[in-house]
Amino acid sequence: MGLFDFLKKGNKKPEYRFDKEYGFVSSLFNSAVSVSATNVSEEYIKNCIDFIQNPDDAQIDLLVKESIRYYQEFIEISGSDTSMPEDIEGREILKYITPKVMYIGNDDEEPEKMEFIVECDCKWEPEHGLEIIVYDKKIIHVGSYDGDIDYWKEEYLKEG
């Protein structure tokens, strides 16, 4: 059904915001995060922000575990001296991560399954940083920034 037919049936035109810029201060990381969203509803944007602002303990624990894994892999591979303790435990790792931009994509396909990427700086890997990818209200990837949400969605769905 096209938009014209949709409107003829008495439905209201969906409200979309194009290229809107939003921002918030992350309570988890205590840093300002800008939000880049294109062709998504304001409600969808707010739901994505709310998820990253108020993750449940299981999602925080997963973020911590995967961030520590990424940190340890980086140290092992690069041998770099990051001026960070090598034996970081628990939520202490979060103070070395600074979210910068949250990229929210199109919500047309599955609006109930929010998906977005949070691009972060991290103290141990200043060149590539860290990304947090969320799909279907779950953190599905934490690692070096590559911006490829589709790849990580496919991997997540395979494991499903």
Q: What confidence tens digit (pLDDT) does each residue in 87-111 have? A: 889 999 999 999 999 999 876 667 7
8 inside domain: no
9 inside domain: no
pLDDT exceeds cutoff 90 at 85 = no
Give the pLDDT score at 40: 84
92 inside domain: yes
82 inside domain: yes
pLDDT exceeds cutoff 50 at 72 = yes
3-state secondary structure of 30: coil
Give the pLDDT score at 4: 38
Give the pLDDT score at 78: 85
pLDDT band at 14 (very low <50, low <70, confident <90, very high): very low
pLDDT in tens, 110-128: 777 889 999 999 999 999 9
Contact 35, 59 (CB under 8 A): no
pLDDT band at 42 (very low <50, low <70, confident <90, very high): confident
Contact 81, 55 (CB under 8 A): no
Q: Where are the alpha helices (DSSP H) in 54-139?
A: 57-78
Which structural domain range is residue 114 located in? 16-159
101 inside domain: yes
Distances from the Cα of 119 to the Cαs of 2, 87, 93, 149, in angstroms? 35, 24, 16, 12
136 inside domain: yes
* Count: domains in the chain: 1
pLDDT exceeds cutoff 60 at 6 = no
Q: Which helix (H) or strand (E) holds 141?
A: strand 138-143
- Report, as an integer, the average pLDDT of 70-98: 88
83 inside domain: yes
3 inside domain: no
Q: Report the distance separating Cα 124 and Cα 106, nearest Å.
A: 32
Q: Name all contacts of 73-80 with Cβ < 8 Å and 24+ positions apart.
A: 74/124, 74/125, 74/144, 75/124, 80/124
pLDDT exceeds cutoff 50 at 38 = yes
pLDDT exceeds cutoff 90 at 43 = no
